[in-house]
Chains A and B, each alone.
Chain A
C-alpha cells in the first residue's frame, strides 16, 4: 500500500474522529465508547470500595476495645454484611470488568468490543444496583445476615426485614450486569483480535480475562438460581430452605459456594493478569513460561469449581467427601505456585527496573503468599474444624484478597495511568502510599490469625475484656487506620490536578504490548488495525507504531460514517468480517434503569410498578435490537484496506451475535442445571421425596415436552424455508411454531395446576412449580423472539442472505428444547415417589 498524502491522512483522521466522537454536555453520559464506560465503571467500583472501606473502619472502631458501644449490635451486623457484599459484588468483580473494557480493545488491536451498548447497559445496571444496595444502610435497612445469607436466618422476615430482599434483588440485578460483561469480553477476545494475533499470541491479560469471563458464566448462574429459590421462599412462602416442610438450608450453602469459591478466583486471576503485563515490562523481556502460566490459569479456573465444600467442612458432611474436597483445595495451590514462580523466573531472566508498580506488585505477592500458605492450612479438614468462622479466616481471606487483588490493582493504576492522562502518577507519593498500605495491612491483619486461634469467632460485635483478645484487636484497629491512610494517599495522587505536569511520552515504561499504542485524547482506539506477528509487538515489530499512525493498517478510514472494527477467526485471527458496532445511544440507559425499576419495585412488592417497568424494559430492548442490530448494509462488501475486501454482514457461527447467544445460553443452561440439581438434591436427602403429595401426572408434562419438540422442529423448518427465500412460507412456519410454543407453555403449566399442587405446603410441589415456571418463562421469551422474527420478516429486514435474527433464535431454541425435554421428562416420569 502506498503512502497517502498528508491531506488525505488528515481527512481520514477527521472522519474517524467524527465517527468515534464522544458527545458533549449531558449527552456525554449516553456515550458507549469503551474508554468512557471503562473509566466510569472503574471509578464507580472504586467509590464503592471506599464506601465499604469506611464500613470496615467503623467495624474496627467498634472492636478496638472490649465492651464498646460505638455501634449497636444491629448496626454492626449491617456494617459487616454490607462490607463483605460491597467488596465482593461491587468492587472486586466489577473493577476487572472495568479494566478489561477499558484496556482490551487496544490491547487486542481492535477499535471497540463487539457490543459497546451492552457494556454501557452493564455499567448503568451496575451503578444503579450498587447505589440501591449501598444506600440501604442509611435507612437502617441494609442486609444484616452476613454476605453469605444463610437461611433460615436470612429467610426469617422478622429478623432480616427488607435487607435480605435488597441483597437478593439488588445483587441479582448486578449479576445480570456481570454476565453481560462476561459475554462481551468472551466474544471480544475470541472474535475481535487484530489479524495475525493467533490465540497463542494473545497478551496474557486477554487469556486471563477469557478464563475469568468463562468462570463468571458458570459461577454466577448457580447463585441466580439460588436467589430465585430464596426470593420465592421470602415472597410467596415456598419452603425451599424450611426443614419443617421438606426443604433444607444446606441446598443454599451448596449453591452459594458453588458460586462463592470460583468467585475468589474470578477476583484473583485478573489481578495476576495485571501482574503478567507489568512484570515483563519492568524485566524488559517477554514472560518466561507463557504456556506454563496460561495452563496454570486454565487449571485454576477448572479446579476452582471443585472446591466449594471447603466452606462447609463443619456442616457434618461425610468425612470421605471432606477428604476429596480437601485434596482438591490443596491441589489448587499448585497452579497458583506456578504463576508466582513464572513472575520470579521472568524477573531473574531479565534486568529489573524498579518502580512503583513493581513495588506494589512485589509487596502484594509477599502478602498473598502468606494468604496462600494459610489457605493450605485451612484446606486441611482438621485444622479447618478449629479455624473455620474465626478471625483466623478473616486474616486469611484478607491476605489473599488484599495481597492478591488490591495491591496488584494499585500497581495497575500506577502502571496504566499514563493511558488515561499521558502523565505518570507521582513516584514519591506512590512509595509513601505503598509503605503505609503494606505496614498498615500487616499490623491490621496479622494479629487476627492469633485472635482467631485464641477463640475469637467472626461477626461478633464485641468481646469480653478478660479473654485475651483486647491487645490484638486494638493493634488491628490501629493498623486498619494506617492502611486506610495509604489508600487515601493513592486516591489523592490520582485526583490531584496534574495540568502543570508536562505530558509524557506515549509508552513511558517501554512496554511491549499493543495497549500502549492508544492515545489518551483519541477515541478511535487504534488509528488503523495492524497485522500482529509477535506476543510483544511493540518490541518485535520495529515499524509498528509508525505504520499504525500513518494509517497503513486495516480500516484507516470511516468513509460511511459508521463505527467499524474487524472480526477475525477464533483461533488464527484471520479477518472474516467488517463489523459495524453500535454508537452513542440513550436506549441502553433506559433499558438499564427500567430493569433496575423491576428489581427495586419487586423489593417493595409494588407489583404494578414492577409490571410497568418490565414492559418498559422489554420495549427498550426491542427498540435497541430493532434499530441497532442485524442492520442490512447498503453494500455487501467493504474494502478494509491492505487489499482485502470483507463482508459487512455475516450470520451463524461467523457472526459475533451468534456467539453471544451461545455464551449467554451456556450461562442460562447453568442456572437451569442448578435448579435441577436442587430437584435431585431434595430427592436424595429424603426417603420419600414427595412426602405423599400428588405430582403433576404424566400426561400434561409429556404433552408439553412433545409440543416443545414440535415447536423446535417448526423453527428448524422456518430457518430452512427462509434460506430458500420463500418469505411468505417462512411467515407461516414461524406462526405455526409460535402457536405450538403457546400450546406447549399451557400444557407445561397444566400439569401442576390441574393437579392442584400447592407450592407452600411442601418442597416437592414447590420445586415442581419452579422447574415448570422456569421452562414456561423461557417459552414465553421464545414467543417474543418468534414475534420479533415475524416482524423483521414483515418489515423486509430479513432475507435468505440476511438471516442473523432467525439463526440466533434457532440457536436459542436448541437450548430451549433440551431444557423442556429435561424438565417435563423429569417432572412427568420421575416424581420420586415409591
Chain B
C-alpha cells in the first residue's frame, strides 16, 4: 500500500486521514501497483517522497538532480577550503604575509578561480537548458498537448482528442504515459499559479493572459504529488494535484474510458446530485450536462484526493467537504451545503466516491 501526502489542512483532517490506497480502474493500472512495489517498501519518511526533486522520475528532474550533485560536492569543497583559510587567517602568526603575497591571493582566489569554475558551470547549465526543455516546434514527433489551467484553488485539465476519441476535461489528477514526452499548455483563470511536478521536472508559471508551454518525459511509473508553487491566495497551500504515470497500454485504456464518460448509474445519490444543483457547477460526463464552473467530477472515485490534494478521497471526507468547503479549505469558492440533511450529503458523497 503506498501512501501519498494528501492530508494538509486542519488537525482534524490529520487525525481522520488514513492511508490512501492508490485507486485505479480495474482495467487500468493494476500494473502500477505491481511496478511501484519495490519503491513502496521504502518508508516515505526516509529519503524519498512523492513530491521530491531528489527522487527523480522524469528526464528533466534526473538531469537537474545530477547537476545538483555536482554542485553540492563542488560547493562543499569550496566552502571547506575558504572557511579553512579564514580560520587559518584568524590565527595569530609570527610573520605576517607580505602585502604582495596577500594581493596575489586576492587575484587567484577572488578572481581567477571563480572565473574558471563559474564559466564551466554556466556552460554546463546553458547546454542543459535546451536539452531538457526542447523547443517544442522542433520535437518530432510533436508531443501531445494537455491544457492545464490553474484556478483558485484547483486544476482544470483538458486532454485533446486523439485516435478518433474526443477530448475530455478532468480535474486535479493528471495521468501520463511513461517514456513519452507530453507537452502542457499552461494557463491561469484568475491569479498567477505555478505548475510543478517535482519528481518529473522543474516548474512553469501560469499567468493570466499568457500561455506558457512545458514538456515533461516521465521515466518510471508511479504516483506523484504536484503542489502549486506560486502563492495564489488563502488556500495556496491546499492546491495540489496527483500525477499518475502509467504504462502506455494502461494509459490508453484509461483515456478511452475517460472519453466515454461514466455510466449513468442509479441511486439516491445520483438524484440528489442533480436535485441540489451540484450539476450546475460540476460536470459528470455521461450523466449530467456540461458544467465548467467547478472541477469536473467524471470518474471522481478513481481520484486520490478530494479538494485538490486537501483530503484523502473517502466518502466521509467528501461529505465533510460538501458540508463546509471553507472549513477544510479556507477561501474555496464552493459554498457550504450544511443546510442539507446529513443523509443527503452522505448519499451524494457515496455516489461520488462510487464514480469508478
Q: Which residues of A are at the interface with B, using a C-beta cutoff of 8 A?
A: 66-69, 72-74, 77, 145-146, 150, 152-153, 156, 159, 243-244, 247-250, 285, 288-289, 292, 296, 314-316, 319, 322-323, 326-327, 330-331, 333-334, 337-342, 344-354, 358, 362, 365-366, 369-370, 373-374, 376-377, 380-390, 450, 453-455, 457-468, 470-471
Contacts and interface: CB of A to CB of B under 8 A. Distances in A.
Contacts of B90: 347, 352, 354, 358, 362
Nearest to A392: B53
Contacts of B110: 292, 296, 334, 337-342
Contact of B61 (A243, A331, A373, A386): A386
B4 to A, nearest CB: 7
A330 B124 CA distance: 13
Contacts of A460: 8, 227, 236-237
Contacts of A292: 103, 106, 110
B102 interface: yes
A327 B96 CA distance: 37
Contacts of A352: 89-92
Given A323-B126, A334-B118, A463-B8, A349 B97 contact: yes
Contacts of B234: 73-74, 77, 159
Contacts of B44: 466-468
Interface stretch (B77-85, B250-258, B263-271): B77-85
B10 to A, nearest CB: 6
B151 interface: no
Given A67-B7, A243-B209, A345 B71 contact: no
A453 B204 contact: no
B100 to A, nearest CB: 9
| CB-CB nearest 6 A-B residue pairs | A385-B202, A243-B209, A467-B5, A455-B51, A341-B110, A464-B5
Interface of B: 3-11, 13-14, 17, 44-46, 48-54, 60-61, 63-64, 67-68, 71, 75, 78-79, 82-83, 85-93, 96-99, 101-103, 105-106, 109-111, 113-115, 118, 121-122, 124-126, 128-130, 132-133, 186, 190-192, 194, 196, 198, 201-205, 207-210, 212-213, 225, 227-237, 330-331
B93 A453 contact: no
15 contacts: A67-B11, A152-B190, A152-B208, A153-B231, A243-B209, A314-B204, A316-B186, A334-B114, A337-B114, A370-B79, A376-B121, A380-B67, A382-B60, A385-B133, A468-B44
Contact of A388 (B13, B98, B202): B202
A373 B67 contact: no
Contact of A369 (B82, B92, B212): B82
Contacts of B54: 450, 453-454
Nearest to B49: A468
Contacts of B125: 326, 380-383
Contacts of B132: 382
B9 A369 contact: no
Nearest to B51: A455
Contacts of A77: 231, 234
B111 A338 contact: yes
Nearest to A155: B191
Contact of A316 (B83, B92, B205): B205
A458 B89 CA distance: 38
A66 B14 contact: yes
Contacts of A327: 122, 126
Given A342-B106, A373-B75, A466-B7, A381 B203 contact: no
Given A243-B209, A288-B99, A387-B53, 20 more contacts: A67-B14, A150-B230, A150-B231, A156-B233, A244-B209, A285-B96, A344-B105, A351-B93, A358-B90, A365-B86, A380-B124, A380-B125, A382-B125, A389-B203, A454-B52, A460-B8, A460-B236, A466-B7, A467-B49, A467-B51
Given A341-B110, A345-B105, A373 B79 contact: yes
A341 B9 CA distance: 48
Contact of B194 (A69, A323, A389, A454): A389
Nearest to B14: A67
B14 A465 contact: yes
A67 B129 contact: no
A382 B202 contact: yes
A386 B233 contact: no
B128 A382 contact: yes
B89 to A, nearest CB: 4
Contacts of B205: 314-316
A455 B231 contact: no
B89 A249 contact: no
Contacts of A471: 45
A377 B109 contact: no
A159 B233 contact: yes
Contacts of A341: 105-106, 109-110
A760 B113 CA distance: 55
A466 to B, nearest CB: 5
A386 B105 contact: no
Nearest to B126: A323
Contact of B51 (A353, A370, A381, A454): A454
Nearest to A243: B209
Given A67-B8, A362-B90, A457-B229, A468 B52 contact: yes
B103 to A, nearest CB: 6
A320 B233 CA distance: 32
Contacts of B105: 341, 344-345, 348
A386 B6 CA distance: 21
A340 B83 CA distance: 11
B92 A464 contact: no
Given A334-B114, A342-B110, A467 B98 contact: no
Nearest to B50: A467
Given A354-B90, A466-B7, A249 B209 contact: yes
Contacts of A331: 118
B330 A152 contact: no
Contact of B79 (A244, A358, A369, A462): A369
A386 B7 contact: no
Nearest to B125: A380
Q: Which interface residue of B11, B110, B209, B228 has the most chain A CB atoms within 10 A?
A: B110
A1 B165 CA distance: 102
B79 A386 contact: no
Nearest to A354: B90
B71 A349 contact: no
A388 B203 CA distance: 8
A319 B130 contact: yes
Identify which of B11, B132, B230 gathers the most chain A CB atoms within 10 Å of its CB.
Answer: B230
Contact of B237 (A73, A326, A338): A73
Contacts of B86: 344, 347, 362, 365-366
Contact of B102 (A337, A348, A387): A348
A446 to B, nearest CB: 12
Contact of A74 (B9, B46, B330): B330
A229 B68 CA distance: 40
Contacts of B50: 467
A655 B124 CA distance: 53
B7 A464 contact: yes
B65 to A, nearest CB: 8
A73 B330 contact: yes
Contacts of B133: 319, 385
Nearest to B331: A73
B27 to A, nearest CB: 28
B96 A156 contact: no
A308 B13 CA distance: 41
Contact of B225 (A353, A354, A455): A455
Given A344-B105, A454-B49, A314 B202 contact: yes
A453 B196 CA distance: 12
Contact of B5 (A340, A351, A465): A465
Given A382-B202, A383-B64, A389 B192 contact: no
A233 to B, nearest CB: 14
B7 A377 contact: no
A153 B109 contact: no
